[in-house]
Amino acid sequence: MPFENIPSVQVPLTVEQAEIMEQRQVKKHQVAVVLVHWFNALVWLLELTTGAALLVNPAYRVAPQWYLTMMQDVFGTSANLLRFHIAVGLTWIAVFLAYAIFGWRHYLHAEVLRKEVGLDNDDFEWLRIRTLLLVGRTKKHLPPQGAYNAGQKMYALLVYTMIPVIMITGLIMTFHLLATAVVAWAMVLHFFAVGMVVSGLMIHVYMGAVFPEERPAFYSMITGQVNELYAYHHHFKWWRDVRLQQQAWERQWAEEEAGNVHGDGATVHSRPVIGAYTLPNEEN
């Protein structure tokens, strides 16, 4: 066992502890989240590449002329390009709607959101120190973080706010809903919301795919798991919660094993379901 007593503050690890923890996996993302993440990534890739090609007027344009010409050639006509953009967008809305309806309790409930994207005092401190670290004005350590750090939380908040804006304005433009002026402003809002997400996406993709320290987070978006050492270093408060939860289960199970015998003399052998934790071999 790496720890008999789970520490309440981050303590230096022994080499042995670190080695054991690196081998142990903690479940971080459910399969639905992993699937929706990559579906979303694909949608963003397709929608950004086609969306940029739809803005042809010089006053509105964001992409160079050769790109517009190339995309028009790929799709044959601008109408095809728009049809594709709309088809992908509507599919995106349909999938997210299903995700929201069926996954409400698991992923979008206020309790879950508060835990995942709500900023606490540690988060504000993290943002302050992170900023100072970036400009080299402090040597302090970053405060412990929950399942997501303050940067990730802020990006999530941005995305959670902007995605409904993108969807609603997209529907307004697709189906020419409401007044003419509303359609005109929907166009502006659609572009603004996408722009804001893309500005965060730059960091999201870099941190996820390129930055070496966060590499386990990238793999967790495929396997759903992170190793415990990474969790300990990067998401201490979450690691502690998971360990405490696991310890409670282990105790409960041990008590049941030890002597809690039913009336007919049969021992309860069913191990409790450990939802958020993959138990390694305890011989470690």
Partner 1 sequence: MARYAMVIDQERCVGCQSCTVACKSEWDVPIGGARTRVRPAGVRGIYPNFTSTFLVSQCNHCDKPTCVQACPTGATYQDANGIVRINKQLCIGCGSCVSACPYGARYINGDKGVADKCDFCAARVERGLEPACVNTCPAKAKIFGSLEDSNSAVFNLVYHGGAQRIETSDVNIGPNVYYLAKPEQMELAAAAFPPIPPQTIAAGRVWSGLVKKVVFLAVGATFLGQAVAFFRQLNVGEKQFED
Identify which of residues 30 and 49 has a Cβ nearer to partner 1 in the complex.
49
State the nearest-atom distance from the C-beta of 173 to partner 1, in Å: 5
Is residue 267 part of the contact set for partner 1 (CB under 8 A)? no
Segment lying near partner 1 (by CB under 8 A), choices 74-82, 94-102, 116-124, 237-245: 74-82
Member of 1, 31, 135, 202 binding partner 1 (CB under 8 A): 202
Segment lying near partner 1 (by CB under 8 A), choices 36-44, 115-123, 179-187, 238-246: 179-187
Member of 1, 110, 135, 181 binding partner 1 (CB under 8 A): 181
Member of 5, 9, 57, 263 binding partner 1 (CB under 8 A): 57
State the nearest-atom distance from the C-beta of 244 to partner 1, in Å: 24
Q: How many amino acids of this chain bind partner 1 (CB under 8 A)?
A: 41
The secondary structure of the chain as a DSSP string is: ---SS--SS--PPPHHHHHHHHH-EEE-S-HHHHHHHHHHHHHHHHHHHHHHHH--STTT--S-HHHHHHHHHHHSSHHHHHHHHHHHHHHHHHHHHHHHHHSIIIIISHHHHHHHH---HHHHHHHHHHHHHHTT---PPPPP--SS-HHHHHHHHHHHHHHHHHHHHHHHHHTT-S-HHHHHHHHHHHHHHHHHHHHHHHHHHIIIII-GGGHHHHHHHHHSEEEHHHHHHH-HHHHHHHHHHHHHHHHHHHHHHHH-B-TTS-B--PPPP-TT-----TT-
Is residue 227 part of the contact set for partner 1 (CB under 8 A)? no
Is residue 212 part of the contact set for partner 1 (CB under 8 A)? yes
Is residue 213 part of the contact set for partner 1 (CB under 8 A)? yes
Is residue 195 part of the contact set for partner 1 (CB under 8 A)? yes
Segment lying near partner 1 (by CB under 8 A), choices 57-65, 99-107, 136-144, 218-226: 57-65
State the nearest-atom distance from the C-beta of 168 to partner 1, in Å: 14
Determine contact, residues 104/219, Cβ cutoff 8 Å. Answer: no
The closest of 142, 96, 144, 148 to 118, measured between CA atoms, is: 148
- Give the binding site for partner 1 (CB under 8 A): 18, 54-57, 59-60, 62, 78-79, 82-83, 173-177, 180-181, 183-185, 187-188, 191-192, 195-196, 198-200, 202-203, 205-206, 210-213, 229, 233
